[in-house]
Structure 1
Amino acid sequence: MSPKVRLLVVDDDPLVRSALALMLGGQPDVEVVGEAADGRAALRLVDELDPTVVLMDIRMPRMSGLEATRALHERPDPPHVIVLTTFDADEHVVGALAAGADGFLLKDTPPAQILEAIRAVADGDPMLSPSVTRTLIARIRDDSEDDRGESARLRLSVLTGREQEVALAVGRGLTNAEIARTLHLSVPTVKAHVSRLFDKLQVTNRVQIAICVHDAGLV
C-alpha cells in the first residue's frame, strides 16, 4: 500500500483552512499534517512536518504564496505545491508557475478534482485546471500570432508521431493517466515522452507545451 500523501494547507482565511482540512483529511490516502496562515509559517512548517504536497493560497499577508513557492522551489528536496486562487485571471498565475508550482486550481474547484490534483502532483504529474490553462495561453500570447504559429509548428515538426500525440493530449489538458488510457500506453511511458517533449521543445513545464500546441493551431 502506498504511503499517505502528507498535506499542508496554507490560507490566511481560517474558515477556508478548516474547510479544506476537514474535506481533504477524511480521505484514506491523505493526511493533513498541518495548517498555516501565511507563507512564512508555511516555510517553517515544511521544515517541521515534511509534507508531500502544499496547498498554497496566493494572496496572503507577511509572505505571499508566490514568494513562499519560490522559496520552497529553491530548496534541494522541495514538496510539491498546488497554488489556489479565487480568480482564474489572477495576475500571479504565470509567476507562480515560474516559481515552481506543480499545480494551479481555482478555489471553487469541486472537492473531487482537488483531491485528484493532490494525488496527481504527489505522483509527479502536474495539474492545471482547463480554465487556468486557457487563461495562461491568452495572457502569454503576444500580438505576433502568425510568427508564433510558424515557430510553434517548426518546433513540433522535430517530434516523432507518438510524441506529437502526447503533446496534443497535453495541450488538451489531459493528465498522464488520461493520456495513458487514451493512447494505450503505460503511465511511465507517458512520463518518458513528456520528459522528451521538455527537451525537444525547450520548455520547462506542461503549460508551455500546451501553449506551443495552441500556437500551432492544433487544439
Structure 2
Amino acid sequence: MQVHHLTKTDSIAGKFVAQLRDISIQNDRLRFRRNIERLGEILGYELSKTLSFSEKQIQTPLGKSIQFLPDDEIVICSILRAGLPLHQGLLNYFDDAENSFISAYRHHPNNDEQFEILVEYLASPSLEGKTLILADPMLATGRSFVNVYKALQKMGTPETIHLVSIIGSEEGIEYLEKELPEKTQLWIAAVDGKLDKNGYIVPGLGDAGDLCFGNKLQH
C-alpha cells in the first residue's frame, strides 16, 4: 500500500489539523466540520494528480482551448457518520462522482474495552471498473476500513482504491497494508504513534463523530 502523508512536509493542511486537535477550538462544531471538509478538499486535490487524464477541446468566447480532464469514473464512499464532512470536501472537487454510504460502528458486546466493528447499512452504485474513494476521518485500528471494503465487494471490483483519512495510527496503517489489495493508496493528513487500551488514537483528537454532530448513546 502506498501512503501519502500530507503533514510530513509543511503546508496549510497542518493548520487545519492543529485546529481539529485543539480542545479550545474543536467544540465549535461548525468550525470542526468545516476543517474536516477543508482537509477533504486538500486530500482530494492531491489524490487527483494520480487519476487518468485525456485531452479535450474547449470552446471559449474567443477561441478554442486544449485542457486535460479526468477520465475516471469515481465513487466516493463515506463511513457514517463522521465521514460526512470529509465526503463533502471530496465531493466539492469531484462534483460529478457517484456516491456510496455505509455504516460502521464499534459494538461493545460485554460493555468493556473489547469491541467489534459492525456494518449494518449500505447504499452504493456498482463499483465495477471504477475508482473507489473510501472516506473516514479517523483510522484507528484499521478494522472499519477493512470491514467496509469486504462489505463493498458484492458491488463489484473497482479498478483502483483510494482511502482518505484525517488522522491515523501507525498500527492501523500496518493492519491495512496486510489486509487490503497491494495497490491501495492511502491519503492521510497526519499519522500518530499509538492507540490506547480502548483502541483510540493518541494524541488524536477525540471522537470525530461526536465533535461533528453531538454525543451519541452507546450500544
- Sort the TM-score into its range (normalised by shorter chain): 0.3 to 0.5
Q: What TM-score does the superposition give when structure 2 sets the normalisation length?
A: 0.35
Higher relative contact order, structure no. (Cα contacts within 8 Å, ≥ 6 residues apart): 2
More helix by share: 1
